[in-house]
Chains A and B, each alone.
Chain A
Amino acid sequence: MEQPNLSYIESMSGGDKSFEKKIIDIVKKEFPEEVKTYRENSNSDNFKLMAENVHKLKHKISILGLEKSYDTATAFENDLFDGDISLKEEFESILNLMQNYLNEL
């Protein structure tokens, strides 16, 4: 499975470590909040709101360099509009992977 990385953030920073720290701090703050909202909507099977939550989470997936996971999230987002949750487990494993990575930063 692909691993999260900081390549994109580093490509934006031009070596500016304070910017890198700023972005990581914002991601660390926002990501658990977005996941919490997603899980609440997931628990109530609100697929439309879940799709919106997945859409928002996609940006952070891409920021952490997870290209294949981004594709999975896009597919899951589209499926949710049809009430299809077959990619739910795979998507949530991506969220777990990201949270573990952020915990170590």
Chain B
Amino acid sequence: MEFISQHPVLVAAVVKIAVLLFIVMTALAYLTWLERKVIAHIQSRWGPYNVGAHGLLQPLADGLKFLFKEDVMPPVADRLIYTLAPFLALSLGLTAIALIPFGPPIVQFPNGQPMFVVSDINLGLLFLFAITSIGVYGVALAGWSSNSKYALLGGLRSSAQMISYEVSLTISVVGVLLLAGSLDFNQLINGPNGQAGYWLHFIPKWNVFPQIVGFLCYLTAAIAETNRIPFDLPEAETELVAGFHTEYSAFKFAMFFMAEYANMITVSCLATILFLGGWLSPFPASWTWQNYLPSVSLLLLAAYCAWNTVSEMRGIARLQLGVVTLLAGGGGLICLYPPIAAGIQGPFWFTAKILAILFFYIWMRATLPRFRYDQLMSFGWKLLLPVSLANLVITAFVIVWPLLRHG
């Protein structure tokens, strides 16, 4: 007990890491479920339906399958790097999430540590870029160490693509940094010149409005950075079998998959923080009814599940959806308790915004065909980079102009 009271930072960090890891791992698993469901419904199919009610146990079944499959390693592969690559990809993908603040720093543990961010550092954005910038090694080394043509081509494409789009990604963000004048996530969202407050009393002061060009550039570059359709050239199955992970099987393959989804979550978090006001609610703080929104949405979900359980599910699926109903309903009731309702506001809005961006990602995947490789490169260098540079220059000029006139 003495140890716990003497090291508040360490203890709080361990607890937060454990909880966050559990939440993120679950989110990764159910992101695959969401993706398959959304794409299926866009294409007029059902998607996963048989394993669990509405396919809700499908991620679990997939995970078990990956665990119990044979782990094949090509005899010509570089053993050390072949094994290292998936670990590198996944651990970097998960580390980046530790920097994200999911709620305001005011909500604290009893020992004074902020509750919703694992690592609250001054240069959060810079370190996030540092972590994501070395994320490319996972893919590039996987491609090289497999010692296979297709994998090597995939790895090559991936590193070329990530170098190209990282430039635009970083530059599109600098406009926001100029507006906020800080690299700290909390100040970016809520600081003196942050995104709190309203224009014309109803438009929230989120950076997406003055920086709409930067936002679009960021979204495009972020899709390319995470190797998603329409930029998924590194694993283009029509040309390269499966690209950089052609030779990977079993859990190492699953780790690449998890890393990709973790990166998706990271870039969505970053877009939320920089452009969409982070954990801020779109409504004024005086509208106290919004404290009940999390519990109302959970209770509505519970009501839908209950109706679906009774009217459509049969047998074991009825039991499974019943459990979901109870979980959602119980969560909704807990969120009615006023202190929790007030504290959960930040994470609620943050999650809602992340989900919107992730839905956009999945929507793109269901809608757009893949780029050709030369199109990808000329799009990145000849369109995206000049546009984001122009955005940066104009933003800087608008900020400096009043100073020039008066000084």
| A and B: bona fide binding partners | no
Q: Which residues of A contact B (CB under 8 A)?
A: none
Q: Which residues of B contact A (CB under 8 A)?
A: none
